[in-house]
Every structure is written in C-alpha cells, then in structure tokens.
Amino acid sequence: MKTLLFATLLSGSLAAAEVPPLHATVGLSSQLFSARGYDLLDGDDIFLSFRLAGGTTFELRRFSIDVEGAFSTGGVDGIAHAQVNSGLTLLGFEVSGTARWKLLTWLEPYVRVGVGADWATLTLFNTTRLTQTVGNVAGHAGLGVQVSARLTKPEQRGVFLVADLGAGGVLRPAYDFDAMAPAPVVGPQADPIGGRNAVNVGALPLSGITIRANVGVRF
C-alpha cells in the first residue's frame, strides 16, 4: 500500500515538473500613425489599444523562446473636416515569437516578430451614419526588455511577476473603405431606396511605430 501511494505521489510530481512554462500578460499598445489620411480621425496621430496575451516558453542555454497568441482592441474618435464626427475601431489577433536573452536573472532584452489579422471599422456620423469593416493582415516586429521578480521559493515551481516594455513597428496594407454605407434597413421606411448608396472614402494607411507596456505572470 505504501509503495502504491509513493508511486502515485511520484508520478504526480513528475507530471507537474513536465508542464512547460506558461505566461499570461495584459497591457497597452500605443501605435503612431503619421499618414495624412489618419488626420481624418485624430489630430495627434496616436492610437491606443488594450492587449491580452498568453503562451508558452521553450528554454535554451542562453535564450528563452516565447510563443504566444494575443488579442488586442482599441478605438479613437474625432471630427473630420471640422464638421463630421468620425470613429475608428481596430480589433486584432496575433501569433508571435519572442527570443529573450538571459542577461541577468531578472533582466532579459528581447527581439519579437509576429503576424496576425486585424479588422478596422470606420464610421462617419453625418446626416446618415456610414460604416464599413475591412480586414487585413499585419506584421509586427520590435525590441524590448523584460524585468521579472520571483514570487515563489527556490525549491518551488517558479512563478514570476514580469514587466515588459518594448518598441517597434507594425506593417499593414492600406485599408480600402470603398463601400461606406448605412446600416441595413429594418422595418418600413418613408424612403427605403434613396440615400442608401455606398460611398467610397478612399484608403486609410495604418502602418506605424508601436510602443507597448505589459505586466503579467510567468509560471
């Protein structure tokens, strides 16, 4: 009986030890869009997004490789041509790889590359509410540094509080908003046909510089 109990505890300990390192982070990403077309939405060219990510880590001798999936969302409002209220929301999913160099036990510079897909929704509020959602691919790259603090004892599985600060760029093809239109007609309308043609407002470049700040847990 004692032998069986010991074997059960040992197998549980080995299974726990084989669990790969995992991490989860939450933070903000600031994107700087300098193209003139973005002035339609915002005068200071800054777009803020909320970012939530999770993944796993592969340990090498001098490096750690993080593979993660991330979700981000953000929005901005403005006044186009001093008279038309406008808004842009951006929803994105990304898969990335990060190589961290083990400079110190608590300090790790890194390089990161990723690819994903984003959906941008542009809305113009004039006499009629015009809106369109356009999807596009996106490439991400950047450099940064992670600072970590261990939360558990040395003999226990490592749990670390991690702060992450990085900068880089995002590359996206221009978003073609060529079919801006009101929402579909619901119910009887006084004029169900007039004023509902699609409007082409042109392309909106959304490539730019990125700065991100995240905090999370690695365990």
According to the model, what pLDDT value does residue 187 have?
56
- Three-state secondary structure call for residue 155: coil
Q: How far is residue 213's CA from residue 124's CA, in Å, rounded to a whole number?
A: 31
Contact 182, 192 (CB under 8 A): no
Of 218 and 189, the structure prediction assigns the larger pLDDT to 218
Average pLDDT over residues 27-35: 92
**Structure-derived torsion over alpha carbons of residues 175, 176, 180, 183, reported in degrees to the nearest 10:** -50
Percentage of the chain with pLDDT > 90? 62
Q: Write down the mean pLDDT value for the chain.
A: 86
**Residue 14 above 60 pLDDT?**
no
How do residues 153-201 score in pLDDT, each as one tens digit?
988 888 999 999 999 999 999 999 999 988 665 555 555 444 567 889 8
Range with the largest mean pLDDT of 57-66, 79-88, 161-170? 161-170
